[in-house]
A and B are shown apart, each in its own frame.
Chain A
Amino acid sequence: MKHVLVIGAGPAGLTAAVAAADAGARVTVLDSGTGPGGQYWRHLPPERPSRREARLHHGWSEFERLRERTERDGSIDVVTEAQAWAIETTGGATVHALIGPSDAAGREALALEADSLVFATGAHDRTLPFPGWNLPGVFSAGAAQALAKGERIAVGRRAVVAGAGPFLLPVAQSLTATGSTVLGVYEAARTPALAKGWLPRPWRLLSSARKGGELAGYLAHHLRHRVPYRLGRAVVEARGDGRVEEAVIARLDADWSPIPGTELTVAADAVCVSHGFTPRLELPIAAGCEIGPDRFVTVDDDQRTSVDGVWAAGEITGIGGVDAALAEGRVAGHLAAGGDRSAIGPARRRRRASADFARRIEAAHGVRPGWTAWMREDTVVCRCEEVAYGALLGTAAATEQGSLRSVKLTTRAGLGICQARMCGRTVEELTGADPSRAADTSDRRPLAAPVRLGDLAGLSSKDDPQKGEH
């Protein structure tokens, strides 16, 4: 019997696990969270049950079906609080993981061997810097939603939601569902960009009908709660004494450059901002998977990566939303288990329709270069090392070869505790780096996940039994 190892228990990973089990494999799913569901179905912990939790979600019955199946099926083992941190793909796959509470020392170390791997590690939201974005009370939009759905926390009483992309709408809905007043949703894209992304070939949207229904639901919610949805606008500054008290909103031109004289200041205690998503590529890169020019894991029509025996599904292969993730997970899981291609024709067709959705999002909401006009000399770019915009640009200009590595070593931008997960792509953009060069990409990290030095030392002495005897 084949052993399929799935990393990530969101929509793509859970679907892959079930499809692999259906095709006759033994399946292990690793997820770093405390329960299955990923970010999309992030929910309250079992200690806080509630009767109508489905109200906070889309496709909740799909999640319940997947969860029940993975719990009931003896051939599927879901391991939560499992942080995969290293991977070997020479002669089968071995995944090293630490099991236990986040960042705790002395977690149980597992080395899992598998015949095939499915990566479904998802994405986190990307926030462009702006003056004051490091003030407490400024959150990524994903944080506001995760706290609302997973903890029933309202991040503020009067919230502003801003950035780019359809994801801003469910964030606003999650906020109002915690009792926050959402003062407005400010979308950077202007009408022409939205039309370019969403209007051509509208019949194609019918094939991702569920996504259309989900969006219609958010729009209905906006009308009901009278949440203004403004296009071509951005939060260009957050202000306050030690924490957010005001947000400055400005109109943008087509390049996302703020139009002088259009600034409007609103009193707010939470500013929730996201400009798209960054895929979590650490493990696929550690496994040697090819990353495409679009910075996603390269897969073929079978969700196969460039590495033998390794598949990928969901947002790490392109931002396509839940329908794409479910279809891709099904294809990847089924084929990773050695299943026959003829059994998954509909899922393969669905994944193609969803790829169209991803292209539309990029065309309508992709980051435009004019945003740097809202930056100031002292605006922090790298949150960890507190490197300011002026210092970063000055160093980049003075660095002859202009490679990202030398800029990082000089300024320390991207070398802090988050390992450039937050600022990496922004620093690349600001310094004119060419991310297709190994020295210029912020995606490569020595360890796929943070591991305590003491644990690393312990793990290496276990691997090499002689070490302990000296």
Chain B
Amino acid sequence: MSSIVPFESDPIRPAEPRCLTISVDGERIEGLRGQSIAGILLAQGRTAWRTTVAGRERGVFCGIGVCFDCVGTVNGESDVRLCLRRARDGDTVETQDDSEEDTR
């Protein structure tokens, strides 16, 4: 399971982080200022959030904006690479189920 290094025990001695809140599929999730949206999800132990056309789960693969596996809908805009997008307090994120497109 993915996780975030707790700041209290991180050997690089971080300052106390400041929090923010986003909503993911209607659920309020707390993250840290400066995190990417993918980073917030991975810190929660979530490694998958998109469903492909073939119905398979995907999350982060390349982590640097090349593969587009991690895309989601942010504030109503679809196909946003969540590994690149910095979270802002109050962002509304919806995970994408691309398998539904075929039946529409």
| Chain A residues in the interface with B (C-beta under 8 A) | 32, 34, 39, 44-53, 55-56, 101-105, 124-125, 134, 136-140, 142-144, 146-147, 151-157, 177-179, 242-243, 269-270, 383-384, 386, 416-418, 421-422, 452
Contacts and interface: CB of A to CB of B under 8 A. Distances in A.
A45 B18 CA distance: 12
A49 B13 CA distance: 9
Interface residues of B, number: 51
A153 B3 contact: yes
A153 B64 contact: no
7 contacts: A32-B65, A48-B15, A48-B32, A139-B63, A143-B63, A383-B61, A417-B71
B61 to A, nearest CB: 6
B17 interface: yes
Contact of B12 (A32, A34, A50, A134): A50
A151 B86 CA distance: 11
A-B interface, 3 closest residue pairs, ranked by CB to CB distance from nearest = A143-B63, A47-B34, A45-B34
Interface in B21-59: 32-36, 39, 42-43, 47-48, 52-54, 56-59
Contacts of A152: 4-5, 7, 10, 12, 14
A159 to B, nearest CB: 10
A153 B2 contact: yes
Contact of B48 (A47, A48, A242): A242
Interface of B: 1-5, 7, 10-15, 17-18, 32-36, 39, 42-43, 47-48, 52-54, 56-69, 71, 74, 77, 79-81, 83-86
A40 to B, nearest CB: 12
Nearest to A51: B13
Contacts of A151: 4, 35-36, 39, 42-43
Given A52-B13, A386-B52, A47 B81 contact: no
A34 B62 CA distance: 17
B56 A134 contact: yes
Contacts of B65: 32, 102
A39 B2 contact: no
A134 B58 CA distance: 7
Contact of A103 (B10, B56, B61, B77): B77
B89 to A, nearest CB: 11
A142 B64 contact: yes
A56 B5 contact: no
Contacts of B14: 44, 48-51, 152
A384 B67 CA distance: 8
B83 to A, nearest CB: 8
A128 B102 CA distance: 29
A179 to B, nearest CB: 6
A50 B16 CA distance: 9
Given A101-B86, A143-B62, 9 more contacts: A55-B11, A144-B63, A147-B60, A153-B3, A153-B39, A153-B43, A154-B4, A383-B69, A418-B68
Given A139-B61, A143-B61, A417-B68, A103 B42 contact: no
B60 to A, nearest CB: 6
Contacts of B7: 152
Contact of A154 (B5, B60, B68): B5
Contacts of B86: 34, 45, 101
B57 A242 contact: yes
B34 A48 contact: yes
